[in-house]
Each structure stands twice: as structure tokens, then as C-alpha cells.
Amino acid sequence: MDQHSFFFQAMVYLAAAVVMVPIAKKLGLGSVLGYLLAGIIIGPALFGFIGKEGQDIMHFAEFGVVIMLFVIGLELEPELLWKLRRSIIGLGGLQVLVTAIIIAAIGRAFGLLWQQALALGMILSLSSTAIVLQTLNEKGLMKTSAGQSSFSVLLFQDIAVIPMLALFPLLATVQPEAAAGEQHVKTLVEGLPGWAHTLIVLGSVAVIIMAGRFLIRPLFRIVAATRLREIFTATALLLVVGIAVLMTQVGLSPALGTFLAGVVLADSEYRHELESDIDPFKGLLLGLFFIAVGASIDFNLIKQQPWMIIGLVALLMTIKGTVLFIFGKMFKLGFDQNVLFAVALSQVGEFAFVLFSFSLQEGVLPKETIDLMIAAVAMSMALTPILFLINEKWIQPYIGTRQSAEEKEADTIEEKNPVIIAGFGHFGNTIGRFLRAHNIGMTILDNDSERVDLLRKMGLKVYYGDATRHDLLHAAGAADAKIIIIAIEPAERRLELIETIKKHFPNLRMLVRATNRFDAYDQMNAGMLHIYRETLDTALRLGVDTMKYLGYRNYAAQRAARMFFRLDEENLKKLSSIRDPDQYVLEAKAKIEELEMTIRADQQQANGMIDTGWDEESLIQESNQAK
């Protein structure tokens, strides 16, 4: 079998991903580490299914990063970017500048020329957009302050690649080695004076913005009218590829161009369709990129100089992590979020491969130094998912409660009411507006400072603070209040608050929000009697409407819903004490069958009864039909 054929190579990559990623996910390691391990296994280090062509595949796979930034741009709006400007320019700029200076100083201390040390400092100051954003999205951390700060820094780093590429030719110190072996690609700005180069770059950015506003939307409208999804998908890919080609021709980062296009289209009516069509390609190409990174790790070089490379990786990640932690503290990140922020961006990123290749072509760095640094960069990227896991399993559980107390002091509460609402998101907000409409006094607590500020602007009196603190509850009048409505996120904090109230305010009646039945099981086992599953009532209301639209009488539908609710609540109490998964499945199956049989028997019994005295809507409909 020809191991170099396209189909064999495709089979190897797909098989490696299909086998290793589910295993890694099952072990709690995340998909990124699964892809990296897959690359190591099929690469030269073990089975050798792929060899030197791994580097060529990486150039192709970097298109996954381009698509990822386009999708991220679609999820943003210019207002959000403006809101993050302080983090993007301040935090991102300081991180790149200070990290580059420190690494350059260390390079000079080890005897490198200042030009080489400066180039290394700039390259190694960058972090991996692909690994960090993929991992943060998988773990649901993108909306946290650490996630937003990480995104801001990564965005600045991607932009910083542009001036780095412009500066590198000025730092040439050795004879270029790669030019003879590689095909030179001529760009539109090559050989032009600086002012012309600048005008073309600015013009290209303006073309993307104007096209996004005035040309792309009409184009998608025409394509959508064909009702052929594959043509819409092809158009979306053409948009991304076209922008990438344009950016490459003017010497800019393709990732930056597609990100800009995504932001321009963020408020488009085709935003969600674009995202859903592009997303599968993004996932596969990112997976291919991570596999290529794993396969590119030169284990022979690591065997020859193990302590040198281990020392380089440890030194790099320590320097970057320390710099990130210091600036995260300066920018008011809570301690737990700051640790996550430092861990997330401590590696060196995929743009290092591009810049190392460029520096070799331009004679900035010698090949021996580049080979050593590429091995260290790949190792740092491979270690990142493991560091995420260590932080999640063994660091965050001990420091995760500190953020809210450090970010902002709790408000002073100057009122006491019969009702306290802990958590004023969508669920708590609905309850609060309902009670307020009936002039029922309530004290509202929420630990999201931005939400508190927004709600105050809307005229709602909300206090900032962590409701799980018994001193704050005492200040909110928990000792004299009659009821507390527990609607905070996540489920673990609700259980923590339940225990706090049971210990310090045993006479306070608790009405608790449950996200689902498994959340309700935990609350029942904690002794709660008044549990409100947020999806149950809405689901039953929808079911009642469905029955009515299908011709059932309003009374019959309402009666069925009430019976289902009562029986399901009874079954919930019985199932909450079962811990064995297999026994739970058998018992749950029996309860489902029992519930269905009971409802059907009741329906048959009710069919012979006439009880529509309160069912005015059905009577009116039947009267109209008779006419």
C-alpha cells in the first residue's frame, strides 16, 4: 500500500482522531490533547505513518486557525470590541512588550546577537490562539473574566504579528538558508516604497469593511434565494478563502483579515447560518492542525538534548506565566481568574512556526537555533492541556471562591424585606418583576457586577455581593425575612448556599431553583422541600398548547398536565435516593411506564365525564363551529 497516497494519509489522520479524541475526552483530558497525542502516535516518533510532510500539512492546517477567527468575529459586535479596548491594547500590549524584552535580555545573556535575541523575544511572546480558545470554549470559560482577558491578549498578539513580519528583514544577521529550497511567492506590495505599502494595506482593510457592509449581504441574499445549502456553504468558504488570499498578497495575517470580516458581519441576518456552515470545517481543520503539531515534535532532538529543551520549556512557560499573572493583577483580575489567565497563555503559539520559517528565509536566525526552539514551542503547546487539567482539578477547587470578594467589595445593604432573592439572572429576574408588580418587598443579591450596574440603570434596586456569605445574608435581613428564593449559578453554589442557610438561618424558608432533575436530586438529598425545576413548567405548558392545537379540550389538557406534574414529582422523590447508575436506569424505566399507564387510565375514565363549566374557551370555539 502506498503510504504517501492522499487516501491513505487521509485515513490515517481521521482514524487517529476518531480513536484518540474520544479516549482523551473520556479521561477528562480534552480534545486538544487527544489530537496532539494522535499526532505523536502516527508521527515519526512512533508508527511513522507521516514523516517530513507533517510540516507541509501544518501550513495547510493553519487555515483552521483562520476559520476559527472568522467564527469568533461573527460572535462579536463592534461595541464589544470597544468595550474590550483597554484589555486589548493595555493588557495585550504590555504582555507582548515586557515578555519580548525579558526573553531578549536572557538571549543576550546566553551570547546571542541583539538582533537574534530581539527576534526570539518577539516570537516567543506570542501564545496559541487555537489551543487556548478551543480549550476555553470546551470548558465553558470564554465568558469569564479570564476568558475575556485571554481573548483580548490573543487578539493583540495576532495583530502584533504584522509589524513583526515587517521588522524581521531589518534584523538579518546570517545567510538565508531556506530561500534556495522553497518557492518564492511574490506579493502585491513587494518592492514598493513604505508609503505605498501602507496605502495598499489600509485600502485592503477598507475593502473588507465596505464589502461586508454593502456587497456581501446582497450576495448572500441572492445565494440564499437558491435554497441550495451547499451553494451557501461554498459561498461562505469562498469568502474566507478570498479574504485570506487578499491578506496574504498585501503582507497581512489572513487570520486578522477574516476576523475583521467576521466582526463586520456580526450583526448580519446571515450570521447564524454562516456560523453553522463554517463550524464543521473549523473543527476538522483545527483538529488537523493539532495533529500536525504533535507529529512535528522532533523527539530525536529531544533525546539528544533533553535537559536543554526541558529547561527551555520550563523557563519560557515560567517567564510568560509570571508576566501574565503580574499584569492580570494590575488589571484587577480575581486571584482564581488570574491563575487561569496565566496558565492559559503560558505556552508559545502557532504563529511561532510561521515566524521561525520567515526568520530562516530572511536570515534572522540560524537553522540550529530554530530547530531547537521549534521543539520547545511544540512541547509547550502539548503541555498546555495538561496544565489546564492540573489547574482545574487541583488548583481551582482551593482558590475558586476568592474571586468575587477580591474583584469588588460587597454593597452595604440598608433595607430589610420579607423576601430575599439570591441571583438575579433570567430566572430570578422573572420572579423579581412578578413580585415587584404586586408591591411585595424584596432584597435582591447578585455577584455579577456588570449585571448589577445594568439592572440599576433599568431602575431595579439590586445589591452586589456573594449570597453564600452568611455575614452578607445577615446584613440583607435573613434573620427576619420569611422567604429566600435561591436562583444563583452554578448548581454547586446553590447547594453551598443551602448549607449556609441551614446552619445560620434555620427559620428562613428556602424556595430553590433546579436546572434539571439531577440538580433536584442533590437538593432533595440536602433536605429541600420546595424545589422548582425551571424547565418543567414551561415544558408542560408547551405540551398543553400542543394538545389544544390538536383538538383536545382545554380542561382535558390542563388536567393531564396537572396529573403528570404530580406523578413526576412523586417519582422524583423516589428516584433521588438511588445512587447505582444501572439500578437508576431500571427504576426510571419502570416509573416512566407506570406514569404513562396511570395517565392513560385516567384519560379513559375522564372520557365519559362532562366537566366543561370553567372551560370557556372550548365552549366558545364549539359554539362558533356550530354556527
Q: Which amino acid is at 117?
A: A
Q: In which element (H, E) is residue 184 found? A: none
* 197 CB neighbour count, 10 Å cutoff: 18
Reply yes or no on whether the pLDDT at 181 is more than 50: no
Distance CA 38, CA 16 (A): 5
- pLDDT tens digit string along 310-357? 999 999 999 999 999 999 999 888 888 899 999 999 999 878 877 887
The domain spanning residue 44 has which CATH number?
Answer: 1.20.1530.20
Distance CA 351, CA 355 (A): 6
Q: Is 411 helix (H, G, I), strand (E, B) or coil?
A: coil
DSSP states along 544-610: HHHHHHTT--HHHHHHHHHHHHHHHHHHHHHHTT---HHHHHHHHHHHHHHHHHHHHHHHHHHHT--
Q: Is 294 helix (H, G, I), strand (E, B) or coil?
A: helix
Residues 6+ positions from 329 with CB-CB distance below 8 Å = 338
Q: Is 413 helix (H, G, I), strand (E, B) or coil?
A: coil
Distance CA 136, CA 150 (A): 9
Residue with cell 394538545: 547
pLDDT at 607: 61
Establish if 404 belongs to a structural domain: no
Longest CA span, the chain = 99
Question: Of 399, 428, 446, which closes a domain?
Answer: 399
Q: Are residues 357 and 210 located together in one domain of the fold?
A: yes
Compute the average pLDDT of residues 356-379: 85
Percent of the residues in the chain that have a pLDDT greater than 90, as a whole number:
13
Reply yes or no on whether the pLDDT at 611 is more than 70: no
Distance CA 132, CA 127 (A): 8
Q: Which three cell numbers stand for residue 460?
A: 431595579
Establish if 624 belongs to a structural domain: no
Q: Are residues 449 and 387 located together in one domain of the fold?
A: no
Terminal-residue alpha carbon distance, the chain: 79
Reply yes or no on whether the pLDDT at 309 is more than 50: yes
Q: Which amino acid is at 456?
A: R
CB 127 within 8 A of CB 64: no
Q: Are residues 388 and 415 located together in one domain of the fold?
A: no
If one compares 61 and 100, the residue with the highest pLDDT of the two is: 100
Establish if 6 belongs to a structural domain: no
- pLDDT tens digit string along 457-484? 777 788 877 888 877 888 888 888 899 9
Q: What is the mean pLDDT of the chain?
A: 80
Q: Which three cell numbers stand for residue 51?
A: 514523516
pLDDT at 346: 95
Residues 6+ positions from 446 with CB-CB distance below 8 Å = 423, 424, 425, 428, 452, 455, 462, 463, 464, 465
Question: Of 399, 430, 455, which closes a domain?
Answer: 399
| Residue 575, CB-side half-sphere exposure with 13 Å CA sphere | 23
Distance CA 517, CA 239 (A): 44
Per-residue b or e along 275-296, where b marks 16 or more CB atoms closer than 10 Å to that residue's CB? bebbeebbbbbbbbbbbbbbbb
Q: Are residues 287 and 420 located together in one domain of the fold?
A: no
The domain spanning residue 448 has which CATH number?
Answer: 3.40.50.720
Establish if 623 belongs to a structural domain: no
ω into residue 490 within 30 of 0, thus cis? yes
Compute the average pLDDT of residues 545-564: 81
pLDDT at 317: 95
190-194, 204-208, 316-320 — which one is most confidently predicted on average?
A: 316-320
Establish if 528 belongs to a structural domain: yes
Q: Which DSSP category does 489 fall into?
A: S
Q: Are residues 383 and 433 located together in one domain of the fold?
A: no
Q: Are residues 330 and 428 located together in one domain of the fold?
A: no
Per-residue b or e along 335-355, where b marks 16 or more CB atoms closer than 10 Å to that residue's CB? bbbbbbbbbbbbbbbbbbbbb
Spatial CA neighbour of 263 closest among 205, 220, 204: 205
Q: Are residues 161 and 30 located together in one domain of the fold?
A: yes
Residues 6+ positions from 432 with CB-CB distance below 8 Å = 421, 424, 442, 444, 460
Q: Are residues 594 and 482 located together in one domain of the fold?
A: yes
Establish if 617 belongs to a structural domain: no
Q: Are residues 431 and 353 located together in one domain of the fold?
A: no
Order of strands across the sheet that contains 462-464: 462-464, 442-446, 419-422, 483-486, 509-514, 531-533
Reply yes or no on whether the pLDDT at 401 is more than 90: no
Establish if 405 belongs to a structural domain: no
- pLDDT band, very low/low/confident/very high, at 51 (cuts 50, 70, 90): low
If one compares 328 and 8, the residue with the highest pLDDT of the two is: 328
| Residue 359, CB-side half-sphere exposure with 13 Å CA sphere | 32
Class of residue 186 by CB neighbours under 10 A (exposed 0-12, middle 13-18, buried 19+)? exposed
Dihedral over Cα of 401, 405, 408, 414: its sign: positive
Domain limits at 427? 411-611
Compute the average pLDDT of residues 282-292: 80
Q: Are residues 350 and 483 located together in one domain of the fold?
A: no
Residues 6+ positions from 543 with CB-CB distance below 8 Å = 557, 561, 564
Establish if 333 belongs to a structural domain: yes
Question: Of 370, 399, 428, which closes a domain?
Answer: 399
Q: pTM surpassing 0.85? A: no
CB 352 within 8 A of CB 132: no
pLDDT at 119: 94
Compute the average pLDDT of residues 542-569: 81
Query: What is the total count of domains within the chain?
Result: 2
Reply yes or no on whether the pLDDT at 134 is more than 90: no
Q: Are residues 419 and 368 located together in one domain of the fold?
A: no
Q: Are residues 182 and 230 located together in one domain of the fold?
A: yes
DSSP states along 128-182: -HHHHHHHHHHTT-TTSHHHHHHHHHHHHHHHHHHHHHHHGGGG--S--SSTTTS
If one compares 196 and 133, the residue with the highest pLDDT of the two is: 133
